[in-house]
A and B are shown apart, each in its own frame.
Chain A
Amino acid sequence: MKKILYLVSLLIAAVGMTGCVQSQEDVFDEASSIRLSDAIMKYRDLLTEAPNGWIIDYYDYDVTNSKAPTVGYAMYWKFNGPEVTMACEAKTGVNAITPATSEWDIIPAQGPVLSFNLYNPVIDFFCDPTGASGTAGNEGKGGDFEFVIMGETEDGGLLLKGRRHDVKMILHPLAAGENGIDYLTQSAAMALTAAGASNFIVKHAGDSIASAQAAATRILTFNYKDAEDILVSVTKAYAYTPTGIRLQEPVEVKGITLSAFTWDDDEKTYTATDPRANVVLVSKDKFPAKPTLPPGAGTDSSPYLVSKEGHLLYIGSDLSGVYRMTADINLEGAWIPVAGAFTGKFYGDNHQIKNISVNSDAAYVGFFGELGDGAYIKGVNIVGGSINSIRTGDVAVRIGAIAGTVSGAATITECSNSATITTISTQANNSGYAAGGIIGFVNGSGAVTISSCVNRGNVGNGSRVGGILGAKEGSVAATISNCYSNATITGTSTSTNDAIGGIIGSVANVALIVENSYSAGNVIASGSTRAIGGIAGGRNMGTAVTVRNSVVLLDKLQMASTGSTYFFRVQGYTTKATLTNNYANSGMQYLYNNTTAKTPTKNTANDQDGADVALADAKTAAWYGTNLPTWDFTNTWKITNGSLPTLKWE
């Protein structure tokens, strides 16, 4: 007990002693207002003295939803006396990087507050209340133009906090030699370059540790399992830099701190720049090919060597070059027809261009839009896929697998197509329209040769349609030789001027020769289209068409209307055709009114119905030897008895 009393008295003495100690020193040696004033002066100098200005990753905030930072933009600030010049990477509706000058100040408010106190369109774009009236709480795009300066960062930057919306942002000084406007231009370019990357595997030292998703609103979400196997999801806003992205603030993934990344466009990866992080974000996304200069010089002696989609996309950059395919190419992205008239040479070397997907509202649609004078296309196989014109209205639609239109002397040889070809527009009685399996329209200033070509793609559904060529106009000769189409060719028209054929649809003006060719499959015309034939539809202008040594091996040749005046097995339109030694399958369905069988009346070899041949006979080499001796089964054609002929190169 005495001991306790002793202790208590000691305590009392101690307490008493402290009471004698002089009043405590101030924690700060200056009044708070003086310190604030000093801070303002210091920051004012710091901001002004950065020789190349500053970059801020500027964040607005989500006014409607979570009120979290969203969409980071690179913004450039250069302080010059009382003035500030600003520019921003890009923003919705305003893509140009246009600097604007206004004023700034640092005022004492909640600590030192950096205020852009006159209107500057760069920053106030984000701050103006939007809509009909600036009602209370209408935060516009959620931006700030006043910032509490929270302190300095390790790299000599400043940590800012938006005064109205509390979003933290870091102001980075530009290093010597760096230019703010260049920084913005490069950041904008980086945003475009990496735009397709949105799904990532996060790898640490080569091991997958997490997944990540980037949203178009520039938000990156990391998903990973923590030590207890619980799924964790963390989200950070980011902004683009000239080399990659920087997060609004560092994020921790599996204990690893990440704050910025560098984009590798060849590998499609983001590599963390944080020292010791050893983290790479590997994109799982498919990227559309970009035009890529192929190896080679584009000359006869050194053609461009084409082995990937990007090389094909390059054709538009050199329309007169010489190209040679060295591999089959699977098209990953939607194909846009090569724009402009191609006048070069393209050797497919019997390679395939697979899975073409065209949905174009251009006038000329195909792999090429237009072939010009001198174009030479050989050995190109369009395999599978679809080529669609989505152009509507009474305007030009010319569509074919190899090219929509041919406007000069050109050769297309040993090419094939198995893509389906369709149009929305049908365009009755309009020479602007043509659809063909290989070429849509020929109206050249020089002779056009289409030889040894094959179409297996269905073609429809307009006014002038053919299995190989849709329509031929103009005064220069064209030849279709040693070609065949084995597909369903459909046409529809409300005009009696339109024409559908198994090889060629409409022919106007002078010579088109079709020789040593055959059609198989179906030719079906709806509407009141009247010129319909198994080889050629025809038309009543000029000297029109020559068809010789050809054979119709269709399963069905059908028209919807009653009139049968211009409806025959080989050549539809009655006059102005030169017909020599042609044949037609005597067993095919030959129908008008869609269902009424027509009895051939002009079924001789030099007349419109052609001479009768049984399909079984037309599948024998002997029959061709006797009846079509012009067919070259040594160099051009081949046949297995019991099958239709095919081309040697196939």
Chain B
Amino acid sequence: MKTRKIYWMLFLFVGLVFTSCSGDSLDSQSVITETSSSPNELDFWLVKNYVQTYNVDFKYRIDNRENNYSYSLTPVTYERGVAFAKILMHTWLKTYDEVKGQEFTQTYIPKNIVCIGSKQGNTVGEAEGGVKITFFNLNERINLDNLTVESLTGKTDTTGNGNEESASLKTAFHEFSHILHQNKALPEDFSLVSDKDYVGGDWDTFYKNPIDAWSKGIISKYAGSSPNEDFAEMIALYVTRGPAMWSAVLKKADQQTDKLLDALRLAGVTDATVLAKIEADRPSIKLTTKMSKIRSYLKNSWNIELDEMQAIFYRRVNELPEMDLTNLD
């Protein structure tokens, strides 16, 4: 953690010279006082890579004035702050850069990124209206000795009975997806596909396990709360966990329907209309229908190819283990 106080002062000085030309320097009686201590290497790196490039404030020092004080939270370590700044840059911001160009990322990325070392309940991350996104539990998640892709993206238990695991990068893509539909509305017919299965705040009691949601044609428990969450979950899970997860879920989703059809056949039911109705109601069909609507929405409204974005993310996230996440360039 090398201190470069003199550089920082020079930097400030240059800044002052410029700002003073615009004639809006702070009044000496201003009630806004700046007291931050001397910047370190990471601060300089962030100014260059986050502030100047994306106008994003990456806050790795804890500031409880901005946090939910009903929780006891602790800060991230400096080392994890460094690593997470690089991870997020490489796999999240740069993925959008590659897909749509840097200007797109600059425009839509949340302007405040907050890092917290400890847990806050079971929340992996949370976002406030597309302005601020907070990541929790980074001291545990960013295992600097043995960083795995799964520790960042989370893993889908394809039995559908396990816990629904989340992780920081999935959260990042989830929250960014909300920004997309907040800016350009979703096609109305998207919400109609699973209309009767959205249960609002009761999602956690209604869908006990992922398999409960899958069997209704919904990608995750939380996706069952509303069409917007469904949309964000579909994109985030597809991008961060890939097509293999997607086909495994599709297969598992139809299990109950397959059993039902087998039972009907054994019972000698041959009524074509009954069987056709059941076939048409397959959860996998709902999932694929919604996914194709998402694909065309992304394509038409944003000119984003979902599979291209997935491939870029996949390539980038798998570059992480080879990257130097300790030293700043």
Contact = CB atoms under 8 A, between A and B. Distances in A.
**Do the two shown chains form a genuine complex with each other?**
yes
Interface of A: 31, 33-34, 36-37, 40-41, 44, 81-83, 101-109, 115-119, 124, 127-129, 133-140, 145-146, 163-164
B64 A146 contact: yes
Most B Cβ at <10 Å: residue of A82, A118, A129: A118
B244 interface: no
Contacts of A81: 3, 5, 37-38
Nearest to A106: B35
Interface string B1-37: 1010100000000000000000000000111110111
Nearest to B32: A33
Most B Cβ at <10 Å: residue of A81, A119, A138, A146: A119
A36 B1 contact: no
A33 B76 contact: no
Contacts of A104: 37
Contacts of B120: 134
A117 B61 contact: yes
A83 B119 contact: no
Nearest to B43: A82
Given A31-B29, A34-B29, A81-B3, A105 B35 contact: yes
B126 to A, nearest CB: 13
Interface string B182-226: 000000000000000000000000000000000000000000000
Given A40-B35, A109-B65, A139 B60 contact: no
Interface string B118-149: 11111000000000000011010000000000
Contacts of A128: 72, 74, 117-118
A625 B73 CA distance: 91
Contacts of A33: 30-33
B276 to A, nearest CB: 47
A37 B37 contact: no
B285 interface: no
B119 A118 contact: no
B283 interface: no
A118 B29 contact: no
A139 B69 CA distance: 11
A133 B74 contact: no
A44 B76 CA distance: 23
B98 interface: no
Given A83-B1, A109-B64, A133-B121, 18 more contacts: A82-B39, A101-B1, A105-B37, A107-B65, A108-B33, A115-B63, A115-B64, A118-B61, A118-B75, A119-B75, A119-B77, A119-B80, A128-B72, A128-B118, A134-B120, A136-B68, A136-B121, A145-B74
B78 interface: yes
Most A Cβ at <10 Å: residue of B31, B37, B61: B37
B81 interface: yes
Interface of B: 1, 3, 5, 29-33, 35-40, 60-65, 68-78, 80-81, 117-122, 136-137, 139
Chain B interface, DSSP helix/strand/loop, else mixed = loop
Nearest to A129: B72
B71 A82 contact: no
Contact of B63 (A106, A117, A140, A164): A117
B72 A164 contact: yes
A119 B73 CA distance: 11
Contacts of A44: 37
A135 B73 CA distance: 10
B35 A127 contact: no
A140 B33 CA distance: 33
Given A103-B40, A103-B61, A129-B119, A31 B74 contact: no
A119 B61 contact: no
A101 B3 CA distance: 13
A127 B74 contact: yes
22 contacts: A31-B29, A33-B33, A82-B3, A82-B37, A82-B40, A83-B1, A102-B78, A103-B61, A105-B37, A108-B35, A115-B63, A117-B61, A118-B76, A124-B117, A128-B72, A129-B73, A133-B122, A134-B72, A137-B71, A138-B72, A139-B72, A164-B69
A37 B33 contact: yes
Contacts of A140: 72
Given A103-B61, A109-B65, A134 B73 contact: yes
Nearest to B78: A118
A160 to B, nearest CB: 16
Nearest to B80: A119
Contacts of B30: 33
Contacts of B76: 118-119
A129 B32 CA distance: 33
A-B pairs with lowest CB-CB distance, top 7: A134-B119, A117-B61, A37-B33, A33-B31, A119-B77, A82-B37, A82-B38
Contacts of B118: 128-129, 134
Nearest to B28: A34
A109 B122 CA distance: 28
Contacts of B68: 136
Contact of A107 (B35, B72, B117): B35
A107 B119 contact: no
Contacts of B122: 133
Contact of A83 (B3, B32, B39, B61): B3
A21 to B, nearest CB: 26
A242 to B, nearest CB: 30
B119 A37 contact: no
Contacts of B39: 82
A40 B80 CA distance: 28
A116 B118 CA distance: 15
Contact of B121 (A82, A134, A163): A134
Nearest to A144: B72
Nearest to A48: B37
Contact of B78 (A37, A103, A115, A138): A103
A309 B37 CA distance: 59
Contacts of A40: 33, 35
A119 B74 CA distance: 7
B117 to A, nearest CB: 5
B71 A134 contact: yes
A102 B42 CA distance: 13
A135 B75 CA distance: 16
Nearest to B34: A37
Contacts of A108: 33, 35
B33 A34 contact: yes
Contacts of B117: 119, 124, 128
Contacts of B33: 33-34, 36-37, 40, 108
Given A103-B37, A104-B37, A136-B71, A117 B119 contact: no
Contacts of A118: 60-62, 75-78, 81
A463 to B, nearest CB: 53
Nearest to A80: B3
Contacts of A119: 74-78, 80, 117, 139
Contacts of A164: 69, 72
A33 B30 CA distance: 8
A370 B12 CA distance: 76
A632 B310 CA distance: 104
Nearest to B70: A136
B3 A124 contact: no
B82 to A, nearest CB: 11
Nearest to A30: B29
A232 B38 CA distance: 51
Given A128-B118, A134-B118, A37 B35 contact: yes
A453 B183 CA distance: 100
Contacts of A34: 29, 33
